[in-house]
Amino acid sequence: TSPGQQLRALFYVLPPGESSFRTAEEVPNYVEKSIPFFIAFIGLEFAVSWIQKRELAGRINDGISSLSLGILSRLPDVLFRSIDLISYIYIWNNYRLFELPWDSPWTWYLTLLGVDFAYYCFHRMSHEVNILWAAHQVHHSSEDYNLFTALRQSVLQKYTSWIFNLPMALFIPPSVFAVHLQFNLLYQFWIHTEVITNLGPLEWILNTPSHHRVHHGKNPYCIDKNYGGTLIIWDRIFGTFEAEDAKVVYGLTHPVNSFDPIMLQLRPLACIWNTFWATPGFCNKLSVIFKGPGWGPGKPRLGLPEEIPVITGKEVPFNPSVPAYLNCYAVVHFAVIVDFYTELLGSVTTLSQGTILLRIGFIILSLTSFGLLMENRPKAGTLEFLRCLVFLVVYRLGYLRSQFASLSYAYEVRYLFLSVFAEDLEKARNTKHFYF
């Protein structure tokens, strides 16, 4: 696909004639090819926000956390083929009732509606079923609302969302489905912003930044509203629509207060586990899993609206104070991890399973270390020291590789210096000579 086509794909305006394919293997990886546009639009959002408000559109710690969760959510795809397509193609090959023509505009538009309606159903269930919410709430855990937030995704969500698409496999070709599955996801990137206020008549049909801001709010009027992906018509039809009104305060009603990507992914499941065993009665235990996250014995399925915390407008986002140099350190080293991650995506077919697992392990270790540094947690410097030593070993042995050969020596020298630097930071912290 050309850059122009890729840009139009981001806004779901690539028509049937340019995005219809005979087989699923021919469908481009629109999401992967959109990465340069993600970066460009994030930069543009920061520029526009500065012009409009004289402030940046986000924070370094929250931005790194969102990007870390985005990378973490994509790592299983390095090892396994997408479960969405595997399951869809299986049903298509074995159980389809009839076959719509892959090159018909009518098939293309029907699939647009089908994929979006399936997303609405799944998205709504993800807010109304506790075990699904445990995965989906990762996306809502940011207390900022910007394009970084769009990339904050759950590792586990994809392992339940595929079920909702299977009815389409009875008659819609996999190649058409594969296109719209990506377009629906890409469209939802640009609506995560505050710099776009209102889109006029389009607000009646499309999911817009204004509608989606409501969805991410923890104000009582925002809870469980505006589930649409590309279209807002489903919310209007099924009574879950709410227009933006009072200033939206973002995040979870009970904030997680962490930038550790592993903890953000797993703590909700631990909460369900503990509540499950603490709740008396077998039926009540099942309700802990399958009713709403606000449910408790004697309460309605979705909980009591009056128990939603009141929004005062004075809420302060979780924002531990760290020195400016530590923010710079985290940004530079996160960029290095993005380099390694991108190189892994490009060379995965040529690598052994052991090398792939080693690279994934180092990426996860790095993202966790950055999260703890941003929280100013005890022993964060020790973990970073160990991470630097691990890098020196695996990079020297050739298990890690940069996209840019010219940076290899620079990486080794930098990590050798910083392994000492990180150890000194932890010693200084422990003796309280200075703040870290």
Amino acid 424: pLDDT: 52
* Under-50 pLDDT residues of the chain: 431-436
Q: Which pTM does this prediction carry?
A: 0.91
Q: What whole-number distance in Å separates Cα of residue 278 and Cα of residue 295?
A: 14
Q: Is 224 left (phi over 0), alpha (psi -120 to 50) or beta?
A: left
Give me 375's structure tokens: 């929280």
Beta bridge partners of 250: 217
Q: How high is the pLDDT of residue 196?
A: 95
Measured in whole angstroms, the distance separating CA 44 from the mean position of its chain's CA atoms is 20
CB 48 within 8 A of CB 319: no
Q: Is the dihedral of CA 427, 429, 431, 433 positive or negative?
A: positive
pLDDT at site 381: 84
In degrees rounded to 5, what are phi and psi of residue 20?
A: -115, 135
Q: In this predicted structure, what is the pLDDT of residue 313?
A: 82
**C-alpha dist (Å) from residue 313 to 13, 109, 330:** 38, 42, 31
| C-alpha separations of 345 from 119, 339, 402, 430 in Å | 27, 10, 12, 39
Cα torsion 307, 311, 314, 315 to 10°: value is 60
pLDDT number for residue 81: 76
Do 266 and 364 form a contact (C-beta atoms < 8 A)?
Answer: no
Tokens found for residue 323: 């020195």
Comparing CA positions, the residue from 84, 266, 70 lying closest to residue 159 is: 84
Residue-level pLDDT at 14:
95
pLDDT digits (tens, 9 = 90+) for 378-431: 888 889 888 888 888 888 888 888 777 655 655 655 555 555 555 555 555 554
Which ranges constitute the DSSP H helices of 169-208?
174-190
Cα gap 226→213, rounded to integer Å:
9
DSSP string, 249-302: -BS-SS------HHHHHHHHHHHHHHHHHHS-SHHHHHHHHHS-TT--TTS-TT
The answer to whether the beta carbons of residues 251 and 308 sit under 8 Å apart is no
What ranges do the domains of the chain cover?
3-238, 324-428
Q: What is the pLDDT of residue 188?
A: 97
- Given a contact cutoff of 8 angstroms between Cβ atoms, the answer to whether 369 and 387 are in contact is yes
Per-residue pLDDT at 434: 38
CB atoms within 10 A of CB 325: 10
